[in-house]
Structure 1
Amino acid sequence: MSQVMRGHLAMLCFSALVAGSFSLGSLAANEMAPAALNAVRFAIAAAVLGLAAKATVGLPRGMWQAPWRYGALAVVFASYFILMFEGLKTAPPVSAAAVFTLTPIMSGLAGYILLRQVTTRHMALALLIGAVGALWVIFRADLSSLLGFEVGKGEAIYFIGCAAHAIYTPLVKKLNRGETALQFSFGVTLACFFVALIWGWGDLAATNWGALPSIVWITILYVALAASAATFVLLQFAALRLPAAKVMAYTYLVPSWVLVWEVALGNGVPQILVLGGVALTIVALVMLLKDEAPA
């Protein structure tokens, strides 16, 4: 299997794992302050990644040269996750996942500015189709809401987080100095813990840990192990092998995976018209995967 195909496989797994954080996150978002929840998840994820790196590729002193790199990436990525949970307090999981699919366009722009990665016409068309599908879902297939730009508060908050996520992908390629995906992920995750700790110190101190419902702990463990430790490595791995816009193209699969999660959790599915927007995001993904020239 070529390095490019391995990058695609990594992002396929990434999209499936990320989807779970939307459905579970919406159940836990109103039970615990987002910054406090993420501080705990980053602590667990950093411990797991650190132990895994130590046991396999090692943690050489050289990887700590220019530690500001991890700090810069952590500010961006921790902001994304904290704002995600803030948004999920009010935004439905499928709508939030649709907002997430707007990141490829922003990532493509960031990739050009930071790395001069050029987006082809074919890729630009695919990104446009995906954006239309995302907007379709965000506005619940309601033309009057779209024309009036009636965006929910949760979706608006999460959009800011997604803008940060879009910057993260090309920054990985720019700031990595030869560290493996596991080493680099550990450095970023550890830095994310400190960012979330500072951000949510007051919330952490005020949390009644004994009174937290089980869904909070289930969500923390899931996002720490599956949606942090695993996806961090997958994203780093893919970002070093694929253009930024193509890496983020896999976000177009997330709404479909979220639908699967929602059905599995007994929450039903959105109205048929809204599903049309999800279908457009899948069309966008297929188009992007056929455009292999820039990879």
Structure 2
Amino acid sequence: MSQSVSARSAHLGMLLWASLVGLSFPAVGLMNELPPLSLTALRFFIACAGLWWLARRSPDFLPAPGLLPLYALMGLCLAGFFGAMFWAAHHATALSMATLHVSVPLLAFLLGLGLGVERSGWRLPSILALGALGALGLAVAEGSQQGGGPAFGRGEAVFFLGCIATACYPVLSRWGLASGRLPESAAVRTFWSLGAGGVLIGLAGLAVEPVGRLAAMTGLDLALLVYLGLCSSALTFWLMQRATAALTPGAVTAYGYLVPFVSMLLLFVQSPDRIGWVWLPGSLAVLLAMGLLMRGGGRAGG
């Protein structure tokens, strides 16, 4: 299988991914309280609408019937993560969830080893461990200012299952590419996996949420939803699928360590008085890990 995406281009794309994901949180904060699962389903469908014009140009746009179970499984990974996140948000602290989320790249690495899409060795796991320590340091720094600490209960257990689900998404994508099952077009892979995920999340929303509350959506809510659908879903998942052609699942998910760093920078812009030395160790560890990763860590095999 030819890889049209270079490792350098994939790394740069994932830097953009981390920036877009980090910037999406303030946008979500501006929206009114609406049914979260139904809102996510709409966001995914908007993303699919934005990707359709690009994906349909590929000769592999329409999947073979044998591919539908794989796309459904990838969609289930997305639905599992977002469903667990929204449920756990009412049963776990933000610090606990942020702490658990640093496990995703290491989980992706271990799952990738099991499916043969990660190389055994010490370099990438060491980089991932360094990034995890840095991201954990940033989470603890924020928690120390907000009060409270990480715990582990039913909400944390459910969210950890969601972390496993989201770690499986790039692993399945890389396995599908390496085995020749998935098409080379990142747009096609993103379109069908987001579509499947949107259907599953939407069905869950219909079952457990007061969907009628969506009628309270304002013009600002709709504009933000379109922005999130196109930029924070379509573009970010396309960047992830694009990077999957050149990087291993562990390396792709490692860029999640940069998301709290981006959020920290936004926090400093909004509240400069919160800048302190407590943020420095985590920031340096994350930046060092990302630098080592971009210097050759996590390249996928041929």
Q: For residue 130 of structure 1, give the secondary structure of its aligned residue in structure 2.
A: helix
The CA deviation at 1:61 is: 3.7
Aligned to 2:16: 13
Consecutive unaligned residues of structure 2, counting only runs of 5 or more, are none
Q: 1:38 aligns with which of 14, 37, 40?
A: 40
Cα distance change on mapping 1:153 and 1:204 into 2, 3 Å = closer
The CA deviation at 1:183 is: 1.0
Cα distance change on mapping 1:117 and 1:212 into 2, 3 Å = same
Deviates more, 1:278-287 or 1:150-159: 150-159
Aligned to 2:162: 161
How many Å separate the matches in 2 of 1:59 and 1:293?
28
How many Å separate the matches in 2 of 1:223 and 1:155?
26
Aligned to 1:196: 201
Aligned to 2:283: 278
The CA deviation at 1:293 is: 7.6
Q: Do the aligned residues in 1 keep the contact of 2:10 with 2:247 (CA within 8 Å)? A: yes
Cα distance change on mapping 1:215 and 1:78 into 2, 3 Å = farther
Q: Do the aligned residues in 1 keep the contact of 2:38 with 2:211 (CA within 8 Å)? A: no
How many Å separate the matches in 1 of 2:134 and 2:83?
25
Which ranges of 4 or more aligned residues in structure 1 deviate by more than 6 Å? 152-156
Aligned to 2:253: 248
Deviates more, 1:245-254 or 1:282-291: 282-291
How many Å separate the matches in 2 of 1:196 and 1:98?
25
Cα distance change on mapping 1:123 and 1:173 into 2, 3 Å = closer
How many Å separate the matches in 2 of 1:150 and 1:274?
21
After superposition, the C-alpha distances for 1:17-42 in whole angstroms (9 at most, x for unaligned) are 111233333554x8122211111111
How many Å separate the matches in 1 of 2:33 and 2:13?
32
Cα distance change on mapping 1:137 and 1:9 into 2, 3 Å = closer
Q: 2:239 aligns with which of 230, 234, 238?
A: 234
**What letter corresponds to residue 27 of structure 2 in structure 1?**
L
Query: What TM-score do the two structures reach when normalised by structure 1?
Result: 0.82
Q: Do the aligned residues in 2 keep the contact of 1:98 with 1:135 (CA within 8 Å)? A: yes
Q: For residue 139 of structure 1, give the secondary structure of its aligned residue in structure 2.
A: helix
Cα distance change on mapping 1:151 and 1:61 into 2, 3 Å = closer
Consecutive unaligned residues of structure 1, counting only runs of 5 or more, are none
The size of the alignment, in residue pairs, is 287
Deviates more, 1:251-260 or 1:17-26: 17-26
Deviates more, 1:280-289 or 1:19-28: 19-28
How many Å separate the matches in 1 of 2:30 and 2:93?
11
Cα distance change on mapping 1:66 and 1:17 into 2, 3 Å = same
The CA deviation at 1:136 is: 2.4
Deviates more, 1:225-234 or 1:111-120: 111-120
Q: 2:26 aligns with which of 23, 39, 63?
A: 23
The CA deviation at 1:294 is: 4.8
Query: What TM-score do the two structures reach when normalised by structure 2?
Result: 0.80
- Pair 1:132 & 2:137 matched: no
Aligned to 1:258: 263
The CA deviation at 1:138 is: 3.2
How many Å separate the matches in 2 of 1:214 and 1:83?
28
After superposition, the C-alpha distances for 1:128-171 in whole angstroms (9 at most, x for unaligned) are 2222223323334889xxxx853598776544322211111111
How many Å separate the matches in 2 of 1:178 and 1:75?
17
RMSD: 3.3
How many Å separate the matches in 2 of 1:221 and 1:260?
25
The CA deviation at 1:116 is: 4.8
The CA deviation at 1:204 is: 5.5
After TM superposition, the structure 1 = structure 2 runs for residues 29-108 of structure 1, keeping only pairs within 5 Å, are 31-54=33-56, 56-57=57-58, 60-86=61-87, 99-108=100-109
Cα distance change on mapping 1:188 and 1:141 into 2, 3 Å = closer
